[in-house]
Chains A and B, each alone.
Chain A
Amino acid sequence: MTFMQNTRRFALAAVVLAAIIGAPQTLADGITDIGFVDQQALGAVPAFQNAQKQLALFDRDLQKQLQGRAKSARSQADQQALQREYQTKMLARRNALFGPLFGKAQTAIASIASSKNLSVVVDRRIVIVGGQDITRNVLDLMTGVGDPVPPVSTPAPSAVGFVDQSLINQLPSVVAAEKQLDQYTRDQQKIAQDKLKTAKTDADKQTIARDYQKSLDAKQNDLVKPLVDKTRDVIADVAKKKNLVLVIDRSNLVYGGTDITTDVTQQLK
C-alpha cells in the first residue's frame, strides 16, 4: 500500500467519523473556522512507518507463498482465485495494521478541531492562504503518552461543503458514458495498431498517433463534457441554496464539512 493510499484512507475514515459524530444542524455566520492538516506529515509518524514496513514484509512473504501455488494453477479460474486470495489477505492485514492508527488519528483531529472550534478540516495541499494549521497539535496528540480523548461536542455547522465524486461517477449516465468511451478507445487502438504495421517512416507513425489521440479527445469531449457541465451546475445550485462558500471534493476533506452528495445525485438522476 502506498503512502497516498494510506492518506486517502485516512481522509475517508475521518469523514466517516465526522458522520458518526453528527451532521451539522445549521450553518454558522462566521467562517474563519477552516483548519488544515498536512497528511503527509502525519504519515511520517513512526507508528505509521512501522506499519508500512510490516505490511511490505507481509506482502513479500505472501507473494512468495502464492507464487509457488501459481505454478500449478493452470486454469484462468485457478489464477483468479489466487488473485482474490491475495487481495483478501492483504486487505485484512492492512486493516489490522492501519485500522487502530487511523482511529487514533481521527480522534486526535476531532479533538483538536473541537477545541479550536473548527467546523471543517481539509488537506493542506488545497489551502493557499489562511486557515489554521493543526498539524503540530495532532502530531503531539498522536505521539504523546496515552490515547487522545474524543471530543464531547459534534463539529460546528460548516459553510464548506463537499461532494463524493466517486458516488457521482456511479450514476448510470456516467457509467454508460464510461463504457462507450472504453469501447471506442479499444476500437481506435486496434485501428491505429493496424495502421502502424504498415507505416514506413517515423513521420507516418507520429501522424497515426496524433490522429488516434485527437479522435479520443474528441470523443471524450462529446461524451464527458456535457456530464461535467451539468454536474458542476447542479453542485453550484445546491451550494447557493445551502449558503455554502466553497464546495470541495471529499478526497480533500479530513473532518467536518457539509455533505451535499445526496442532494447533487438526486438532482442529477
Chain B
Amino acid sequence: MVVGLAIGLAAGLPGCTRSATSAVSPSATASVNPSFARVGYVRMEDLIKKHPLYGQLAHYDETIEALSLRTALGSNGPALPAAELAKEDRALQAALDEARARTTKLLNEKQKEYGKRENDAIAAALRTAGIPMGPGTNAIAGSVNAVAQQQRAQAVSSAQSDFNAYRATLIKQDDAAMQAAQKAATARADRSYRAKADELQAKEQQLAFELATKDSSDRLSLRTRLSNLALEDGAREEARAKLAAIDRAEADQLAAARNRDQQTLANLRASLKAKIASDVALDAKRVHAESVAKLKSRGASIQAQFSGAAAPVVAQALPNGTVSVPAGVSPALKARLEDLHKAYQVQFTADAKRTIADFKKTNDDLTKRFNTIHGVDQNAERDARAHIAELQKQRDDLYRQMVAQIGREVRVVAQNRGVTTVINDTVAPANGVDLTADAQKDIESLHE
C-alpha cells in the first residue's frame, strides 16, 4: 500500500497529466526562468508503455502476478484442500488413539494370560511332587482355560481389526500421495513448458524489434519520399515497392522463426508428457512396494504374536508377582518353581515389547505417510517460487533493455530541444521541460 502510493507518484497517473502539461509549456518555462529550459524530465513508465516490447513486459508481469497469486492463495500448495488435510489428520489421530487403547487392553490381557499359565505350571509341578492342592482345582482349571481361549480369540480379533484399519489407512494415504505426485509432476512440466514458450516469445519479439530498428531509417526515408506530393509516379511506385519488400522480408523472417519455435514447443510438449508418465509410474511403483512391504511385515508380526499362544491357562497372577509356594516344599522344588516364575516373566516381557513395538511402528508409519504428502506440497511451492524468481529476472533484463533503448531516444530529443540534463524519476511536474510527449513520438516510430 505504501509502496503503491510511492509507485503511483513516480509512475504518473492520468489524473495528473493535465497539470504536467500546463507546467511545461514553452511559454510557461520561459516566463519563470530561462535556464529551466536546460533541465528536463521524462515519465519513464509512460514511455515504457509505448515501447515495441511492452507487450512482452506486460505478459511477464501478468504471468508473475498470476503465479504469485496462486501460490499466495494456496491453489498450487497442498495437494489436498486444507479442510481435507485437517480431516485426514483427525482421522489419523483417532486411529492412533484407538490403537493405543487396544494395545493397553492387549497388554492387560497378556499379563493375565501369562499369570494364569505360570500358576498352572506351578500347580502341575506341585501335583507331580505329590503336594496336595485345594479342592476343585481341576474344575477351576478347566473353566479358566475356556475363558483364556475366549480372551485369546478376542485378542486375535482385535489385532486383525487393527491390521485392517492400518491397511485401509495405508491405501488411502497411498492414493493421496499418488494424486499429489501426479499433480506436482504435471505442475513442473507445465512450468517448464511455459518458461520455454515465454523464452521463445521473447526472442520472437526481440527479433521483430531488431528487424524494425534495422529497417527504420530506410522505412522513414521511403515514407518521407512518399509524402512528397511532387514525386513522380514511377518514383512513387518504386518507393512503394521497396517499402513492401522491406515489410515482406521482415514478415518472412518472423514467420520462419515462429514455425521453428512452434516445432520446438511441440517436441517439448511430447517429451514432457512422456516424462510425466515415467515419473508417475516410478512413484506408483515405489509407493506400492513400500506399502506391500509394510503390510507383509505387519501381518508376519501378528502371526508370530499369536501362533504359539494356544497353551491352556489356569488362574490369575498374584498381584505382587511373587510365587505362591506352599510351606514344607523341598529346596529343589522351590528352585524349580522360581525358575518357572522367571521364565514366564521373561516371556511376558518379550511379548509385551513386541506389542508396544508394533504400536510404535503403526504410529511412525502413518505419521511418515502424512509428512510425505505435506513434503510433496512444499516441493511444489518451492518450484513455483523458483519459477517466479526466474521470470522476474527475465522481466528485469527486458525492462533494462527497454529503458536503455528509451534513453537513447530521449538523448536525441533532448539534444533537439537544447536540454542538457534529463531525469527519469520525478515525483511530480515542476518547472523543468517535460520531454515525455516528444520521446513518445520517437518511440512509437520504432513500431513502423
The interface of chain A, by Cβ under 8 A from chain B, is: 29-32, 34, 122, 125-131, 159, 161, 163, 165-166, 168-169, 174, 177-178, 181-182, 189, 192-193, 196-197, 199, 205-206, 208-209, 212-213, 220, 224-225, 227-229, 231-233, 235-236, 239-240, 243-249, 252
A245 to B15, CA, bound (A): 21
Q: Quick one: which of B5, B20, B82, B414 contacts A227, CB cutoff 8 A? A: B5
A98 to B400, CA, bound (A): 30
Q: Are A249 and B6 in contact (CB under 8 A)?
A: yes
A30 to B432, CA, bound (A): 13
Q: Are A169 and B2 in contact (CB under 8 A)?
A: yes
B274 at the interface (CB under 8 A from A): no
The interface of chain B, by Cβ under 8 A from chain A, is: 1-2, 4-6, 8-10, 13, 15-16, 19-20, 23, 32-33, 35-36, 38-42, 65-66, 69-70, 72-75, 81-83, 407, 410-411, 414, 419-432
A97 to B4, CA, bound (A): 33
Q: Are A244 and B430 in contact (CB under 8 A)?
A: yes
With both chains docked as a complex, state the minimum distance between the C-beta of A100 and any C-beta of chain B, in angstroms.
30
Instruction: Give 4 closest A-B pairs by Cβ, nearest first.
Output: A130-B421, A235-B428, A239-B430, A228-B8
Q: Are A229 and B13 in contact (CB under 8 A)?
A: yes
With both chains docked as a complex, state the minimum distance between the C-beta of A134 and any C-beta of chain B, in angstroms.
14
A232 to B422, CA, bound (A): 20
Grouping DSSP codes into helix (H, G, I), strand (E, B) and loop, the A interface class, with mixed when no group exceeds half, is helix
Q: Quick one: which of A131, A228, A252 contacts B13, CB cutoff 8 A? A: A228
Q: Are A249 and B427 in contact (CB under 8 A)?
A: yes
Point out which of B16, B66, B411 has the most chain A C-beta atoms below 10 A from its C-beta: B16
With both chains docked as a complex, state the minimum distance between the C-beta of A256 and any C-beta of chain B, in angstroms.
14
Given A131-B421, A243-B33, is A209 in contact with B430 using a C-beta cutoff of 8 Å? Answer: no
| 25 contacts across the A-B interface (CB closer than 8 A) | A32-B421, A34-B423, A126-B425, A127-B422, A127-B424, A128-B424, A129-B411, A130-B414, A168-B5, A189-B72, A192-B73, A209-B66, A220-B1, A224-B5, A224-B8, A228-B16, A231-B5, A231-B428, A232-B9, A233-B19, A236-B20, A236-B23, A239-B430, A247-B426, A248-B425
With both chains docked as a complex, state the minimum distance between the C-beta of B421 and any C-beta of chain A, in angstroms.
3
Q: Are A247 and B430 in contact (CB under 8 A)?
A: yes
Q: Are A212 and B69 in contact (CB under 8 A)?
A: yes
Q: Are A232 and B421 in contact (CB under 8 A)?
A: no
Closest B residue by C-beta to A161: B430
Which A residues are CB-close (under 8 A) to B65?
A: 213
With both chains docked as a complex, state the minimum distance between the C-beta of A8 and any C-beta of chain B, in angstroms.
13
Q: Quick one: which of B1, B13, B422 contacts A128, CB cutoff 8 A? A: B422
Q: Are B5 and A165 in contact (CB under 8 A)?
A: yes
Q: Are A128 and B73 in contact (CB under 8 A)?
A: no
Which A residues are CB-close (under 8 A) to B1?
A: 177-178, 181-182, 220, 224
A34 to B423, CA, bound (A): 10
Closest B residue by C-beta to A206: B66
Closest A residue by C-beta to B44: A128
Q: Are A129 and B422 in contact (CB under 8 A)?
A: yes
Q: Are B15 and A229 in contact (CB under 8 A)?
A: yes
With both chains docked as a complex, state the minimum distance between the C-beta of B323 and any C-beta of chain A, in angstroms.
48
Given A231-B9, A246-B423, is A196 in contact with B430 using a C-beta cutoff of 8 Å? Answer: no
A96 to B407, CA, bound (A): 39
A189 to B15, CA, bound (A): 30
With both chains docked as a complex, state the minimum distance between the C-beta of A248 and any C-beta of chain B, in angstroms.
6
Other than the given A245-B432, A246-B39, 17 more pairs (CB < 8 A) read A29-B33, A29-B35, A31-B38, A32-B38, A130-B420, A159-B39, A165-B6, A196-B74, A206-B66, A224-B4, A233-B19, A236-B429, A240-B23, A240-B431, A245-B33, A246-B430, A248-B423
